[in-house]
Each structure stands twice: as structure tokens, then as C-alpha cells.
Amino acid sequence: MVTLTALYRQIKEFYEQHDMDSGPAEAREIICRFCGTTKDRFFLWGDLTADESQTEACLDAARRRAAHEPLQYILGEWTFFGGAIRCFEGVLIPRPETELLCEVALSKVGPRGAYEAMDLGCGSGAIAVTLAANSEGRVLALDISPDCLEATRTNSELRGVSGRVTVRQGSMLEPCGESGRFELIVSNPPYVRSDEMAALQPEVRCEPALALDGGADGLDFYRAIVKNYAAALKPGGWLLFEVGLGQAEQVARLLADAEFRSVETHDDFAGIARVVGGQKI
């Protein structure tokens, strides 16, 4: 048996030996996941111990991180918009920046209880599940990847909203087949330029390229969604995107050129224009 405090120091020192700066925060995350405690008890850890299997699980997690495996895949779960989201290899990891997209989306539908939304490229289902869990709306979650569809099903069941989240396989690059149905369409599409993919951090390169590569200028999916899905919105409905660094102006222009009104941008916690949206006439 080893105390959690001693285990925390051991993991932190391992991170330091591998020149990883995130040791303190990640050591707490790892111990909480594999030793059944919580971060708010951190200062009481001296009274708690880990058995041999828990200790080995924590040390194995640290070794996997040193090999650049994303922490979210190792833990199998991450907090997004105040709720748990299961994370699976082959599925994009939910990020804090995307919480802003959910916040803006929920502000557009307000107290309406019967609205319908679509989440394009649903990935883990983080956006679709968050919308359903924080309103009475119904969400159609679309993705081309079977792994993503299964992840979205799992997370909607985990959060108790499976009755209001429907998954469907489909491509954002193809015509929608819906007309005037949705009050809200949201998407965090692939937006990394193809020539930047090889330079991504090793952890990011562990995630599916399908969810990252946005084409030569990073805007392929924005153009396709505006073209293929605008007709699926009701008049007055909102189309909202997460965008990459430096893309907000171009995406806003795409919406304006497609005759969306009230085109707006929203900055994330780092002051980067991260969400762009427009309202259908």
C-alpha cells in the first residue's frame, strides 16, 4: 500500500523526468480516476492509500502519457460543460473551446421546449448531449464514422437523454435531404489545413485525421455545410460553427454571402474568435 500523496509525488516526478509540464494537474486526474477519489479531497490524500493494482494502473497511465497518448483516452472519460463524456480511441476528444459553441447555441434557443437541432459531425456526442441535457430540445446527431455514432449513443444514454438524441450516419459534404426542419444547426467540423496536419502535437495526431483535416485551406466543410444544410433551417433558425485560429472572418463571409443575417462571432477564454454564426432569413 502507498499513500495517495506519495503516489502523486511519484507520478509528478515521472512527468518531470520526461520533461512534461502538466505533471501536477494530470497526476491528480490519474489518481482520481484509478483510485476512486476526487480532486476536492486533494489535501486529505495523506490519509488515503492505493493498493497494488491501483498503483500500477496509475503508473501505467503515466507511462502511456509519456508516449503521447491523450490523457482523455487513458482515463476514458472527461468533463464537458459540467457533465461526463466518455472518450474513445478513434473519436475526437471534447475540448473546452467547444463549450462556447454549446453556450451560444443554448442562448439562441432560449426557453423553447420543442425546438429541433442538428449536430453535424457529432463525434463523441458532446455537443448533442449537452444541448439535450440543458434544454428540452431534440437533437439529430450526424456523423460519417460508425465509431462516432456509437460514442454518441453511449454518451446520450450515460446522460439520460437518449430519448431526445437521434444518431444518423451521413456526410457533411453531401446534400442534407431535410427542408425547413431545424431551429438550430451546430457544427465543430474538421478545420485543420491539410499541410498543417503533420505538424500537429503528437497527442493530437493520435486523434482521427477524419475529424481534423479540413482540406487545403481548412474551410472545405464550412463551404459544404453552408451549401448543403442551409435549406434544412427554418426561417429565423441559426447556423453556428466552431472555427480555428484566424478562420472567423472567412467563415463569417461564407455566411453573409449565403444571405444569412445577424452574422456574429464570439471569442473563447483565450480571446480567440472561436464561434461564428448566422441567422437564416
Q: Mind listing the pLDDT tens digit for each residue in 21-44? A: 888 999 999 999 999 888 777 777
pLDDT band at 151 (very low <50, low <70, confident <90, very high): very high
| 12/7 Cα distance (integer angstroms) | 9
Q: Is residue 206 situated within a structural domain?
A: yes
Instruction: Show the cell assigned to 158.
Output: 450515460
Using only C-alpha atoms, what is the Rg of the chain?
A: 20
- The residue-averaged pLDDT of 98-126 equals 93
Q: Is residue 80 situated within a structural domain?
A: no
Q: Is residue 73 situated within a structural domain?
A: no
126-133 vs 146-158: helix crossing angle, rounded to 10: 30
Query: Does one domain contain both 11 and 120?
Result: no
Q: Is residue 104 situated within a structural domain?
A: yes
Binding-site positions read: 121-125, 143, 188-191
pTM: 0.94
Query: Does one domain contain both 101 and 151?
Result: yes
Binding-site positions for substrate read: 188-191
Q: What is the pLDDT of residue 212?
A: 97
Query: Does one domain contain both 48 and 99?
Result: no
- The residue-averaged pLDDT of 158-173 equals 97
Query: Does one domain contain both 61 and 97?
Result: no
Q: What is the pLDDT of residue 138?
A: 97
Query: Does the pLDDT value for residue 46 go beyond 80?
Result: no
Residue of 222, 207, 213 lying closest to 195 (CA atoms) = 213
Residue range of the domain that includes 50: 2-67
Query: Does one domain contain both 243 and 119?
Result: yes
pLDDT digits (tens, 9 = 90+) for 224-272: 999 999 999 999 999 999 999 999 999 999 999 999 999 999 999 999 9
pLDDT band at 110 (very low <50, low <70, confident <90, very high): confident
Count of domains for the chain: 2
Q: In the chain, where does DSSP find H-type helix?
A: 4-17, 23-35, 52-66, 71-75, 96-109, 126-133, 146-158, 202-205, 220-229, 248-257
Rounded percentage of the chain residues whose pLDDT exceeds 90: 89
Q: What is the pLDDT of residue 209?
A: 97
Query: Does one domain contain both 219 and 103?
Result: yes
- The residue-averaged pLDDT of 76-102 equals 97
Binding-site positions for S-adenosyl-L-methionine read: 121-125, 143, 188
Q: What is the pLDDT of residue 157?
A: 98
Q: What is the pLDDT of residue 112?
A: 67
Query: Does one domain contain both 25 and 123?
Result: no
Query: Does one domain contain both 96 and 46?
Result: no
Q: Is residue 30 situated within a structural domain?
A: yes
Q: For position 139, which CATH number holds?
A: 3.40.50.150
Query: Does the pLDDT value for residue 98 go beyond 80?
Result: yes
Mean pLDDT across the chain, nearest whole number? 95
Query: Does one domain contain both 59 and 167?
Result: no
Query: Does one domain contain both 38 and 168?
Result: no
Query: Does the pLDDT value for residue 165 go beyond 80?
Result: yes
